[in-house]
Amino acid sequence: MNHRTLRVVLAPRAAVDARRLLGEGVALARALDADLAAVFVEDADLLRWGSLPFSQEIGVASGTVRPADTEALRRLLARRAGEVRTIVAQVAGGVGVTWSFTVTRGDPIREARRAAVGEQVLLEPPRSAVQHAVGRAAPLASRTTVAVLASTEQDSPEQQRAWSAAHRFVGAHPEAVTTVGMADLAGGPTPRLLVVSLPLITRTPGMLDRVLAMARCPVVLVA
């Protein structure tokens, strides 16, 4: 019986983002011989902000200022969750990957940390990191590589698990696995995926947040 699970943590963004990330997640789940568990995270801070009595929203087209409509926001998030669930069923079910879908409320990064205990988690970096990369053309070859974040504990079992995961992702193309340092995240070629050892990165307070802020591609946290 297969007990390995790859979790894909999704924020309530456009369906095109979810389809792209889930497509990558399904490919990784197949490489790992794993089930896929999609976790849709409603932004608790956004809902909390919307419920404050002084909160206002501005119409995109009209520019009209009006009180924030918390119920409308809840309906929007529910609709977005339904759209993402449909994509999960199409992308994962279409290739025979066992999948599940849950909705939770909180912060995507904190949820990723919580979900990564004993499992592997795929998540999109914060939108600011993606926007920062707009207009910065990466070498075409780099988009097929899987990068492992370098560690001072390269020979540790935790880092070896990260390397092992990266090699499973690329299958018969071990030459596609490379290693990168923190400096490469800011200005180096953009890989297809960044693989990070969760136990090692969390030993330094704030380091995971820094990596996610700098990453310009989906990140795989290996427990």
User: Which CATH number fits the domain that encloses residue 145?
Assistant: 3.40.50
What is the span of the domain harbouring residue 153? 125-223
Q: Decide if 39 contacts 45 (C-beta within 8 A).
A: no
d(CA 108, CA 30): 24
Within this chain, do residues 116 and 192 fall inside the same structural domain, yes or no? no
Q: DSSP letter at 172?
A: T
Q: DSSP letter at 198?
A: H
Within this chain, do residues 114 and 139 fall inside the same structural domain, yes or no? no
Determine the 3-state secondary structure of 65 from DSSP: strand
Within this chain, do residues 103 and 139 fall inside the same structural domain, yes or no? no
The pair phi, psi for residue 67, each rounded to 5°, is: -60, 145
CB atoms within 10 A of CB 79: 11
Q: Which one of 77, 100, 124 terminates a domain?
A: 124
Q: How many domains does the chain have?
A: 2
Beta-sheet pairing, 35-43 with 5-10 = parallel
Q: Which one of 63, 91, 124 terminates a domain?
A: 124
Within this chain, do residues 119 and 130 fall inside the same structural domain, yes or no? no
Within this chain, do residues 103 and 198 fall inside the same structural domain, yes or no? no
Both tokens of residue 93?
């079910």
- Exposure class string for 157-167: b at 16+ Cβ within 10 A, else e: ebbebbbebbb
Within this chain, do residues 45 and 64 fall inside the same structural domain, yes or no? yes
How confident is the prediction along the chain (223 residues), in pLDDT tens digits per residue?
A: 446 788 888 876 666 678 888 888 898 888 888 899 998 888 776 666 555 454 545 554 555 545 556 777 788 888 888 999 999 999 998 899 999 998 988 877 777 777 666 667 888 765 444 333 333 333 333 456 899 999 989 899 999 999 998 988 888 888 999 999 998 888 878 888 899 998 898 888 888 888 888 888 888 988 8
Range 180-185, long-range pairs (CB < 8 A, 24+ positions)? 180/147, 180/148, 180/149, 180/150, 181/149, 181/150, 182/149, 182/210, 182/211, 182/214, 184/147, 185/149, 185/211, 185/214, 185/215, 185/216
pTM: 0.71
Both tokens of residue 40?
């849709």
Within this chain, do residues 66 and 83 fall inside the same structural domain, yes or no? yes
In 3D, which of 8, 168, 16, 146 has the Cα closest to residue 80?
16
